[in-house]
Amino acid sequence: MNAEIISVGTELLLGHTVNTDTTIVARALSDLGINLLYACTVGDNEGRLKLALEQALQRSDLVITTGGLGPTKDDLTKEVAASFFGKKLVFHEQTYEHVRKKLESYGINEMTESQKKQALVPEGSLVVTNPAGLAPGIIMAQGDKAIVMLPGPPKEMKAVLAECCHLFINRL
């Protein structure tokens, strides 16, 4: 099996944040015996992310994205991945409750619309709760192609990486 990593975030592209996610994911793929062919970084831009995803899925069976799953307008990974597979975003009750409870633990008792956005996931996807943050891990597949979406912050990404890999491997 061949894989690629797409790290999403303008802060990574411009060098404002060091991209440690690629190293961590690359090691995990190697440990699983999955060939890593390419890794790239894309800013928070819908068109460029769509192009990167299209190219990656032409070359590889599995694309792992990191970042772009948060509540802001420029967090576009779920939307772009869902549209690529012709899926719409749907409300995921378990994620909504997780986000609500996590925010309450921070002393925030009302969710904004942008915070509610994190409970939207591509229809038919597998969702992995993020014990270290809000944005879940998401696995979606169509035919012999799969996209695994992980949160960008390294602590959160690591918290869902193992479970996403386990679920993906068991799906094969």
Give the burial string for 91-108 (b: 16+ CB within 10 Å, else e): ebeebbebbbebbeeeee
Q: Measuring CA to CA, which residue among 20, 25, 19, 24 is closest to residue 4?
A: 25
> What is the pLDDT, as a whole number, of residue 40?
97
CA distance linking residue 150 with residue 137, whole number of Å: 5
Show pLDDT as tens, one digit a residue, over the chain (172 residues).
999 999 999 999 999 999 999 999 999 999 999 999 999 999 999 999 999 999 999 999 999 999 999 888 889 999 999 998 999 999 999 999 999 999 999 999 888 988 899 999 999 999 999 999 999 999 999 999 999 999 999 999 999 998 887 777 766 5
Q: Please tell me the total number of residues recorded for the chain in this structure.
A: 172
- How many CB atoms within 10 Å of residue 11? 14
